[in-house]
Amino acid sequence: MAKYKIQIDDTVIVTTGKHKGATGRVIDVQNEAGTVLIEKVNLVKRQMKPQGGRMGGTIEKEAAIHISNVSLYNVEESRKVKAAWGVVDGKKVRVDRKTGAAISNA
């Protein structure tokens, strides 16, 4: 299982494909498949049967995008971020290659 630099709650930008340029928050990282789910990006319609208390009908949900087609995004600076692993205060964390600052999930 690979260790990716993109994690849940990161803000990412889609770099290739139909949704190029779209930004959003990562909902789920699927390590085995190497894909991510991004909030409000790559929406597909699915027909669902009623089950339990849930209503049936047509719903829209996010479809997976391959992790190689997205990049970390810095909202404050409006730019893509290249991440690396580094040690800050004795802990292994993700750091921005350009500035050397630690990348947080918030």
Mean pLDDT for 15-35 is 96
CATH code matching the domain that covers 11-96, chosen among 2.60.260.20, 1.10.760.10, 3.30.70.980, 2.30.30.30: 2.30.30.30
Model-level pTM greater than 0.85?
A: yes
Confidence of residue 106 (pLDDT cuts 50, 70, 90): low
Domain spans of the chain, in order of start = 11-96
pLDDT score at 49: 95
Q: What is the pLDDT of residues 62-85, one digit of tens each?
A: 999 999 999 999 999 999 999 999
Summary mean pLDDT of the chain? 94
Q: Which amino acid is at 41?
A: V
Residue 10 pLDDT greater than 80, yes or no: yes
Mean pLDDT for 23-49 is 96
Residue 29 pLDDT greater than 60, yes or no: yes
Residue 2 pLDDT greater than 80, yes or no: no
